[in-house]
């Protein structure tokens, strides 16, 4: 199996590191810059959960045409960059299963604008990863991973991908209901991302303090109400407990949104808090905490140029 990882950020490098270490032919595909240059020149420095750091020989390129053909494309770019990334990577897509492992709602639908619906897979993971510096990624927390065909029934390619990830140390289950799985991951994100980004705390602070607990629980409860109104079978208490568990299991992780805010980068606030707030208005559900968190992150982004 030849796998292309579209987006060599923390999560993309985490997947690539595990796959490469298990002997899978994997290539990281990204935009030119310091991080990609470090990956190409020095290899992928990867710190595992035990704290051991080693350098892996993982191919990295800014030219997707040099990688094709591939069997699977894992999409790990930021949600707002999906369409542009897939446009640039058109040469990779022909005949490949394309699996989004992104935050937020609407990513699989965007992928389906570029490949047949039968080739669209949706993955979720609660593994935590942090980019320490250019070319160096740390595995900051283990979690659950799922994959499923978003518009069709499970097929052999889906099972093969789940098996390959599991063999590589990322235990992955196949789901026949990836839409609900995506929503479940969104609820975890709602409980963790903006709160840790705005407060500049690690994930564990949300389960080690009363303010953190309250912010996590209130955001997840609001999101769960929207998910149910959106047709998903979501149990609120289970969703809250799952978010707490992820925060605990990734206690030392800096959430992806916190990493973006600290680097003055655009966040995925719109695909997460913004989209949930938008749907809540359509469905007649009040989401004061989620909506406020969305506006606070938006406001934070407006201040980047003034720092």
In CATH, what number is assigned to the domain containing residue 67? 3.40.50.720
Can you give the pLDDT at residue 306?
66
Same domain assignment for residues 129 and 224 = no
Can you give the pLDDT at residue 230?
94
Q: 11: which 2 tokens?
A: 């999560």
Is the sign of the CA dihedral 191, 197, 198, 199 positive or negative? positive
Please tell me whether the peptide bond between 6 and the residue prior to it is cis, using omega within 30 degrees of 0: no
| Biggest alpha carbon–alpha carbon distance for the chain | 53
From the centroid of its chain, how far is CA 5?
12
Alpha-carbon distances, residue 39 vs 17, 61, 130, 208, 280 (angstroms): 12, 9, 15, 36, 42
Q: In terms of residue numbers, what domain contains 237?
A: 180-306
| Residue whose C-alpha is closest to residue 246's, from 280, 195, 200 | 195
CB 82 within 8 A of CB 110: yes
Q: For strand 136-141 and strand 128-133, is the pairing parallel, antiparallel, or unpaired? A: antiparallel
Active site residues: 185
Same domain assignment for residues 290 and 208 = yes
Q: 269: which 2 tokens?
A: 């606030």
Choosing from 154, 176, 198, the residue where a domain stops is 176
Residue 247: give its domain's CATH number: 1.10.1040.10
pTM for this predicted structure: 0.92
Structural domain count, the chain = 2
Low-confidence ranges of the chain (pLDDT < 70): 306-307
Can you give the pLDDT at residue 68?
81
**Distance in angstroms (rounded) separating the CA atoms of residues 277 and 292:** 9
Choosing from 139, 161, 176, the residue where a domain stops is 176
**Distance in angstroms (rounded) separating the CA atoms of residues 25 and 20:** 6
CB 197 within 8 A of CB 267: yes
Q: 220: which 2 tokens?
A: 């997840």
Same domain assignment for residues 30 and 48 = yes
Choosing from 133, 154, 176, the residue where a domain stops is 176
């Amino acid at each position: 199996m030849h796998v292309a990882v579209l987006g060599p950020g923390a999560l993309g490098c985490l997947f690539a590191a595990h796959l490469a270490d298990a002997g899978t032919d994997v290539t990281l595909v990204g935009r030119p810059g310091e991080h990609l240059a470090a990956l190409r020149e020095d290899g992928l420095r990867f710190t595992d959960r035990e704290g051991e750091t080693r350098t892996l020989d993982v191919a990295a390129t800014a030219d997707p045409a040099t990688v094709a053909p591939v069997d699977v494309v894992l999409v790990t770019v930021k949600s707002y960059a999906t369409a542009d990334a897939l446009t640039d990577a058109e040469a990779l897509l022909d005949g490949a299963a394309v699996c989004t492992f992104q935050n937020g709602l609407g990513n699989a639908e965007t992928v389906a604008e570029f490949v047949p619906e039968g080739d669209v897979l949706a993955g979720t993971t609660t593994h935590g990863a942090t980019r320490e510096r250019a070319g160096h990624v740390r595995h900051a927390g283990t979690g659950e991973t799922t994959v499923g065909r978003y518009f069709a029934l499970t097929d052999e390619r889906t099972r093969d991908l789940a098996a390959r990830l599991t063999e590589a140390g990322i235990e992955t289950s196949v789901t026949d209901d990836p839409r609900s799985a995506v929503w479940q991951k969104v609820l975890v994100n709602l409980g963790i991302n903006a709160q840790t980004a705005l407060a500049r705390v690690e994930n564990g602070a949300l389960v080690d303090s009363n303010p953190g607990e309250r912010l996590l629980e209130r955001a997840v409860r609001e999101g769960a109400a929207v998910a149910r109104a959106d047709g998903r079978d979501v149990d609120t208490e289970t969703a809250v407990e799952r978010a707490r568990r992820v925060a605990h299991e990734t206690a030392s992780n800096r959430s992806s949104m916190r990493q973006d805010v600290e680097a003055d980068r655009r966040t995925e606030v719109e695909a997460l808090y913004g989209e949930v707030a938008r749907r809540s208005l359509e469905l007649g559900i009040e989401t004061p905490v989620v909506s406020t968190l969305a506006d606070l992150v938006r406001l934070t982004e407006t201040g980047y140029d003034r720092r």
